[in-house]
Amino acid sequence: MSSTEQRSDHVTVFDTTLRDGEQAPGISLDVSEKVEIAEQLARLRVDVVEGGFPVSSQGDFEAVRAIADGVGTEREAPTVAALARCNREDVERAAESIKPAHSQRIHVFLSTSEIHRHAMLRDASEDDVVAQAVEGVKRAREVTDDVEFSPQDATRTDLDFLYRIVEETVAAGATTVNIPDTVGYALPHDFGATIGEIVRRVGGPDSDVAISVHCHNDLGLAVANSLEAVRNGARQVEVAVNGIGERAGNCSLEELVMAVRTRNDLLGRTTRVYTPEIARTSRSVSGLTGYPVQYNKAVVGRNAFAHESGIHQHGVMADRLTYEIMRAEDVGVAGSQIVLGKHSGRRAFVGELERMGYDLTAEQVSRAFERFKELADRKVEIADNDLEAILADEVSASSDEAYEIADIEVSGGTVAEPSATVRLRRAGDGVEATETATGDGMIDAACGAIRRAVGIDATLASFNVNAVTAGVDALGGVTVQVEVDGQRFTGRGVSTDVVEASARAYLNALNKSVRLRHRRQEPVTATP
Ligand code: KIV
Ligand code: ZN
């Protein structure tokens, strides 16, 4: 059975973290980060991974291509989807990007609401829009027999016109029609009724054509609307990990999946998602995007399984079901396990990586092992969360870093002015640059010294620190967003020392901007 073959009780989980999720303000994932998230989505067993919008940039094209060539070729691979408008160039670019994947989908979209037709399609008439949509679907069908069409802003589209465009794109060959609530305007009962009518018009819940929904969260109703659609016969839901996406975000993967699972008694539907991987996926996406997960976020927030009041604690100690409707272990937040220590050797380390499902290059393993040994000198017990954090750090860092930190020294504090001296080593020729800077605090000083050594003008746009595990010797994970020439780059770093973690994150972000300049062949000029 192919990964998207439908049965009426199965809900296809179409993940758009790497496309719509990445459109959230300030998120910018490079190729290796997108590939890392796609690998995790494959472990989570989503049905479809929408890797990006290939025509929008060379980076997006390369990322979708790398995903199609990587997880897209594995056994039981998810379908790899690419977004395209209906024109020839978009569809060709999308087709090229997904070529290596076993199972390929082109997702074409076009605006249909009156306001979008006037403001974005130069007053295109309904007939023009139908003609373009039909042409887009036919073009995509020349390349793959798995084609999805989305009438953008469907929930503000005249209903008769919406039904017409659904029927005409199905006749043109669309195998999935996705109904996007682009601006998060729908209310559950009304949206459900519309989906029910569309499902009826395409031949019912067991038709060859699947109806999908893509709900935004502007009124906080994305999950509720998606569930109501499922109740009314939708066979696919489009979701993003941690609910990231344009503005208030998309329907949250973890909430939707756990609602379908927990209330199977009412919904009678299932997904193929391997839920114990949910927490790890959430951490990975949060770390790589720099978007923190709110403490009280359903399913994956740090308080989702925490009980504060005495009465609740008493109840949970007697029987967890008194105050919990899901088991923490079912979503992978059962607590971090101690896996290694100071005396663990390389063999145990590699065995642990394999158990956790990592497939790293020999170079990545060597670098990660070095980091593990350094960490083991400072921290008695290494938990799986620690390993995950240093691996993520190494995977993003080892993909062709321009500079690495050879040494860092900080001094000063509340009385003396904070100062930092940083020695950086350039990859390739090994040339070193040492710079010193002062700042408002030690982190500021370290970032200033790095900026000088790399020779780039950069502004820190956001800074986020969190503890990877509990305890005074916990690893600190830092995510920063840095602006260089009007463009944002996300960097991350981990260490038991928060200044070092910050310096690593800052350098990781600057390295990305250096790489981009190299690709564009621009010289890196030192700031005075
Ligand atoms: O929100 C939206 O309408 C979209 C489409 C491209 C599906 O993201
Ligand atoms: Zn969207």
Q: Yes or no: is domain 12-289 CATH 3.40.190.80?
A: no
CB contact at 8 A, 474 and 468: yes
The model's confidence at residue 153, banded by pLDDT at 50, 70 and 90, is very high
Of ligand 1's listed atoms, the one at least distance from the Cα of 216 is 1
Tens-place pLDDT, residues 220-271 = 999 999 999 999 999 999 999 999 999 999 999 999 999 999 999 999 999 9
Decide if 105 contacts 148 (C-beta within 8 A).
yes
Those residues whose C-beta lies under 8 Å from the C-beta of residue 498, and which sit 6 or more positions away, are 443, 465, 476, 478
Cα(185)–Cα(322) distance, integer angstroms: 36
- Ranking 91-105, 393-407, 454-468 by mean pLDDT, the lowest is 393-407
Q: What is the domain partition of the chain in residue ranges?
A: 12-289, 346-393, 403-520
* Nearest ligand to the CA atom of 246: 2
At position 87, the amino acid (one-letter code) is N
> In the sheet that 432-438 helps form, which strands lie side by side, from edge to edge?
403-411, 419-426, 432-438
pLDDT band at residue 21 under the 50/70/90 scheme: very high
Q: Which amino acid is at 331?
A: V
Residues 366-383: what's their mean pLDDT?
Answer: 84
What is the pLDDT at residue 4? 47
Confidence band (pLDDT; 50, 70, 90) for 401? low
CA distance 160 to 164: 6
Average pLDDT, stretch 98-109? 98
Give the pocket of ligand 1 (CB within 6 Å): 20, 109, 150, 152, 178, 180, 182, 214, 216
CA of 109, closest atom in ligand 1? 6
CA of 288 to the centre of ligand 1 (A): 23
Pocket test for ligand 1, best of 150, 162, 212, 226 (most atoms within 8 A of CB): 150
Q: What's the pLDDT band for 397 if we cut at 50, 70, 90?
A: low
403-520 CATH, one of 3.40.50.20, 3.30.750.24, 3.30.1490.20, 3.30.160.270:
3.30.160.270
Q: What is the structure's pLDDT at 54?
A: 97
